[in-house]
Chains A and B, each alone.
Chain A
Amino acid sequence: MEIFLLDKTIVVVIVFLITLLIAMYSTWAERKVAGFIQDRIGPNRAGIFGILQPLADGVKMFMKEEIIPTQADKALFIMAPGISMLTALLTSSVIPWGSYLEINGRQVMMQITDINIGMLYIFAVVSTGVYGIMIGGWSSNNKYSLMGALRASSQMISYELALGLALISVIMMTETLSLKSIVEYQAINGWNIIYQPLGFLIFFICALAECNRTPFDLPESEAELIGGYHTEYSSMKLGLFLFAEYVNMFISGAIMSALFFGGYNLPFHEELSTVFSHNTLAILGTVSFMLKTFTFIFIFMWIRWTVPRFRYDQLMHLGWKILLPLAMFNVVATGTVILIKMLW
């Protein structure tokens, strides 16, 4: 039992640190990608290729003056960034980062916990993510913040529906809610993207909206709302809000690669297992999982610096009148195919 706890603690700490590290370097990567797309070279002064830029930014954030508006609801104002960060990080606990490692004859899972309702858990946590933004916007007692918070909540609620429906078809196919089982299902049957391209497209668009990324960054929209829900925030509180966005991005990238792109599975598993030991293979699997995730992060950034922001009515139109019916159609179609297969 103690050994089990120790293993889990180590895995939790490692996952936590890696998530933070990747989120940190996503901020750097975002600026680099933005620079390259705009024919610039991005930050390159702090360390070689600007590799220390996130640290410099962190130090800057901590040194900034902390301002809490007098009319703000202090307790909620201080809590909000924490909630944002908390919900962003919580999701990482059910993501299967790899299969298991064999250490001294024990099997150490490279996943914090494999609960059998992993998908439901993710939904539950992701939908609480809006609270951080909502509370932050409301407690600032600022009209712009309130507008941002309103937009954020309506946007997230609208897109969560389509997101859920897109996943239902995946769950129908794999007949499980546990993420690990879904990944293992793909090892036998091939990646889900082959059978669910429409589902993936819907999921991807909704993930963009859930992470408040362009073209759905209406809650922030610097130009119209002066930053939206975090207008009044300064110092590291602002930093946490921005950071939570990058954590969210990383987690949604991970979820997408686990659900649709085979997670930590390697191609030619049988052939490779004759060459490498189990542990090497598990680590290689994790590396491939990370690569897939990074690709998604890059695509998120790429889209951000390509596509302009939606208008608000367009956003609602897209969510309710296009994505939702499409997702429903996808569920029905998947169901029909499954039924035909069963009757065959």
Chain B
Amino acid sequence: MEKLTNRSKVVVKKEMTFLESIYLPAIFGGMWITLKHFFKKKPTIQYPEEKRPFSFVYRGLHILKRDEQGRENCTACGLCAVACPAEAITIVAAERKKGEEHLYREEKYAASYEINMLRCIFCGLCEEACPKDAVYLTEELVPSQYDRKDFIFGKDKLVQPLGTSAHPKTYKPYKK
């Protein structure tokens, strides 16, 4: 039969030589290897004290952006919810009233915007689908909770706090 790779090795069950059959040289060889590992530098990271930096494209907790004037970007078009493969996003739309122009950028806005973090697979498709640059995935980790219902994050947790930088925290090479 033709071989698929050149990595396969032919195993021969041959009689052991005397040196092999007394095991000791092999055991000492093994002990030499383990001794070398004993003195090696350990790659352990002491987690809560020491944290590894995330990758630039890490996808974590969502954020709903505001623009430079502090208005919410989201127009409740629902494209993110449609794009979401996990069906994690639920949106209730509402119309902007007179006098709310400083709150919402578009004429329609999301009265309620909920993401179920237990359903979400952090694929980032919502971010790609959004035409208004409203939803982004940040470097934050989703905090652990005791209750399932606490994993449904509403606008109170998702919307970017007022007065913070309008640029997404993460580096997004594929979006300007």
Contact = CB atoms under 8 A, between A and B. Distances in A.
A44 B174 CA distance: 43
A39 B34 contact: no
Contact of A39 (B27, B30, B31, B37): B37
B35 A39 contact: no
Given A306-B27, A307-B27, A40 B42 contact: yes
Contacts, number: 31
Contacts of B27: 303, 306-307
B37 A38 contact: yes
A156 to B, nearest CB: 21
Describe A's contact surface by its main secondary structure.
Answer: loop
Interface string A290-313: 000000000000110111000000
Interface in B13-41: 27, 30-31, 33-35, 37-40
Interface size classification for chain B: 10 to 19
Contacts of A303: 27, 31
B31 A41 contact: no
A37 B42 contact: no
24 contacts: A33-B38, A36-B38, A36-B39, A36-B42, A37-B34, A37-B38, A38-B37, A39-B37, A39-B40, A39-B42, A39-B43, A40-B42, A41-B44, A302-B31, A302-B34, A302-B35, A303-B27, A303-B31, A306-B30, A306-B31, A306-B33, A306-B34, A307-B27, A307-B30
Interface of B: 27, 30-31, 33-35, 37-40, 42-44
Given A38-B37, A39-B40, A306-B34, 8 more contacts: A36-B37, A36-B38, A36-B42, A37-B37, A40-B44, A41-B44, A305-B34, A307-B27
